[in-house]
Chain A
Amino acid sequence: MWGLGQMPPLLNVQELVVQYSTLRGEVRAVNDVSFSLETAATLGLVGESACGKSTLGFSILRIVPPPGRTVAGKIELQGVNLLNLPLEEMRRIRGGQVSMIFQDPMTSLNPLMRIRDHFIELFQTHDPSIKKEDALGRTTKLFDALGIAGDRIEDYPHQFSGGMRQRVMIGLALALDPKLVIADEPTTSLDVIVEAQVLELLKLLKEKHRLTLILITHNIGIVAEMTDRVAVMYAGQIVEIGPTGDMFGDPLHPYTKGLLESAPNVLHPEQSMRPIPGNPPDLVSPPAGCKFHPRCPKVFKPCPLREPLPISQGSRLVACHLYD
Chain B
Amino acid sequence: MLSRKKEFVRAVDTISFTIERREIFGLVGESGSGKTTTGRLLLRLIEPTSGEIRFHGDNIGELSPQSLRQFRRRAQMIFQDPTAALSPRMRIGPAIKHGLDIHQVGSVPERKKETLRMLERVGLAPPEAFYDKYPHQLSGGQRQRVVIGRAMILKPEFAVADEPVAMVDVSIRAQILDLMSSLKKELGLTYAFITHDLATANYFCDRIAIMYLGKIVEIGPRKDVFKSPRHPYTVALMSSIPIPDPKHKADRLIPRGEIPSPISPPPGCRFHPRCPYAQAVCSEREPQLEEIEPDHQVACFFPCT
Please list the residues of chain A having a beta carbon within 8 angstroms of any beta carbon in chain B: 48-49, 161-164, 191-197, 199-200, 218-225, 244-245, 248, 258-260, 262-267, 269, 272-277, 279-280
CB < 8 Å neighbour of B241 from A162, A192, A244, A277: A192
> A residues within 8 A CB of B258?
161-164, 191, 193-194
Cβ B170 vs Cβ A220 within 8 A: yes
Inter-chain CA distance A163–B154, complex, in Å, is 42
Given contacts A197-B254, A272-B199, A279-B142, contact A48 B171 (CB under 8 A): yes
Q: Which of B211-247 contact A (CB under 8 A)?
A: 226, 236-247
Nearest CB on A from B223, distance (A): 10
Nearest CB on A from B108, distance (A): 33
Please list the residues of chain B having a beta carbon within 8 angstroms of any beta carbon in chain A: 30-31, 139-142, 169-175, 177-178, 196-200, 202-203, 226, 236-248, 250, 252, 254-255, 258-259
CB < 8 Å neighbour of B175 from A193, A248, A275: A275
Nearest CB on A from B257, distance (A): 9
- 18 pairs from A and B in contact (CB 8 Å cutoff): A192-B198, A193-B30, A193-B258, A195-B242, A197-B254, A220-B244, A224-B242, A224-B244, A224-B245, A245-B247, A248-B245, A262-B171, A265-B243, A265-B245, A272-B244, A275-B173, A277-B175, A279-B142
> B residues within 8 A CB of A260?
244
Closest partner residue, chain B, to A223 (CB atom): B244
Given contacts A163-B258, A266-B198, contact A273 B245 (CB under 8 A): no
Inter-chain CA distance A134–B249, complex, in Å, is 41
Cβ A193 vs Cβ B170 within 8 A: no
Nearest CB on A from B55, distance (A): 30
Q: Which 10 A-B pairs have the closest CB atoms?
A: A221-B242, A264-B199, A196-B240, A275-B174, A191-B30, A263-B244, A220-B244, A275-B175, A273-B174, A276-B171
> A residues within 8 A CB of B247?
245, 248
Cβ B172 vs Cβ A279 within 8 A: yes
Given A192-B30, A248-B245, list of 18 further CB < 8 A pairs? A162-B258, A191-B258, A192-B196, A193-B237, A196-B252, A221-B243, A224-B244, A224-B245, A224-B248, A225-B250, A262-B171, A264-B170, A265-B199, A265-B245, A269-B199, A272-B244, A276-B171, A276-B172
> A residues within 8 A CB of B199?
264-266, 269, 272-273
> B residues within 8 A CB of A193?
30, 236-237, 240, 254-255, 258
